[in-house]
Amino acid sequence: MNTKKKEILHVEGLSISFRQYTHGWQQRTITPIKALNINVRAGEVHAVIGASGSGKSLLAHAILGILPANSQCNGYIFYKGQLLTEQRKETLRGRKIAFVPQSVNYLDPLMKVGRQISLGLNGNKKLQANKLLKAYGLTKIDGQKYPYELSGGMLRRVLFATSVREGIELIIADEPTPGIHQEALQAVLKELRLLADNGAAVMMITHDIKSALTIGDRVTVMREGTAIETSSVSAFSGEGNKLQHPYTKMLWLSIPENQFINCQEDQPWL
């Protein structure tokens, strides 16, 4: 195991706050991400686990530079050792950094799937699109269909094909697992693992611990906007004694495969 993998993404002290209107014209500032530190190395699958509302998706949006207008960002994001400015985000997005979104609604319902894959490609678009289709187990005929004609699992693979292509160094997959068949789920996970094995840095955002542990190398647990622990996947075993933070340990023990309710006996609501 190569422990000296190169760091592709390095996030330090990231804080994201939003100004929102509450009632009438009262404004308040909410800070869903506070002082977040995380890094992703080439060749690894780094899973980011957290409850919905812990700010995981915002992390992805910050790296891609697609945060909404009323947000404010503090802290540093480094890509391959260099500061990731908004300008740099724009050049890297789509070329070196790929984003596989959570929802299949990101696909244009009025455009044939094959065409959507070919968007943004250089050179012979059709040829490359067909190559990508093949790489994800889809046929040329599938490429001629519209999103509504394909199953959930196939759509997930199309999402991959539209964003992950030659030259991608960092892949951010946002909740790639919910709502699809076991088969498609395994295919997606296998795909992410393969991409990492071929040298890309993969950041997988999910609340599904089991999937994360299947293909992950390291896991970062997020809670209320900050990373409370980063550990290797091997620590998630047995009674979770190798895990440092009590929250992480409790998370591990609470899954149905482990103690589930039995460890909740006298626990207060968190």
Name which of 120 and 179 has its Cβ closer to other proteins: 179
Picking from 142, 28, 233, the residue whose alpha carbon sits closest to that of residue 221 is: 233
Name which of 21 and 76 has its Cβ closer to other proteins: 21
Picking from 255, 269, 267, the residue whose alpha carbon sits closest to that of residue 207 is: 255
Number of residues that bind other proteins (CB under 8 A): 39
Q: Supply the minimum distance, in Å, between the C-beta of residue 76 and other proteins.
A: 26
Rule CB under 8 A: which of 52-81 touch other proteins? Answer: 52-53, 69-70
Q: Supply the minimum distance, in Å, between the C-beta of residue 175 and other proteins.
A: 10
Picking from 251, 41, 70, the residue whose alpha carbon sits closest to that of residue 267 is: 251
Name which of 30 and 119 has its Cβ closer to other proteins: 30
What does DSSP assign to residue 269? P
Confirm or reject binding of residue 264 to other proteins (CB under 8 A): yes
Name which of 4 and 23 has its Cβ closer to other proteins: 23
Confirm or reject binding of residue 34 to other proteins (CB under 8 A): no
* H-run or E-run covering 76: strand 71-79
Encoded one letter per residue, x for contact with other proteins by CB under 8 A and - for no contact, window 202-241 reads -----x-xx-------------------------------
Q: Which two tokens stand for residue 176?
A: 């790639």
Q: Supply the minimum distance, in Å, between the C-beta of residue 6 and other proteins.
A: 32
235 three-state secondary structure: helix
- Write down the H helix ranges in the chain: 56-64, 86-92, 113-118, 125-135, 140-143, 152-163, 182-197, 209-215, 246-254
Picking from 179, 115, 171, 174, the residue whose alpha carbon sits closest to that of residue 147 is: 115
Cβ burial of 161 (10 Å; 0-12, 13-18, 19+) is buried
Confirm or reject binding of residue 245 to other proteins (CB under 8 A): no
Rule CB under 8 A: which of 166-185 touch other proteins? Answer: 178-182
Interface ranges with other proteins (CB under 8 A): 19-22, 25, 27, 49-53, 69-70, 151-152, 178-182, 207, 209-210, 247, 250-252, 254-257, 260-261, 263-264, 267-270
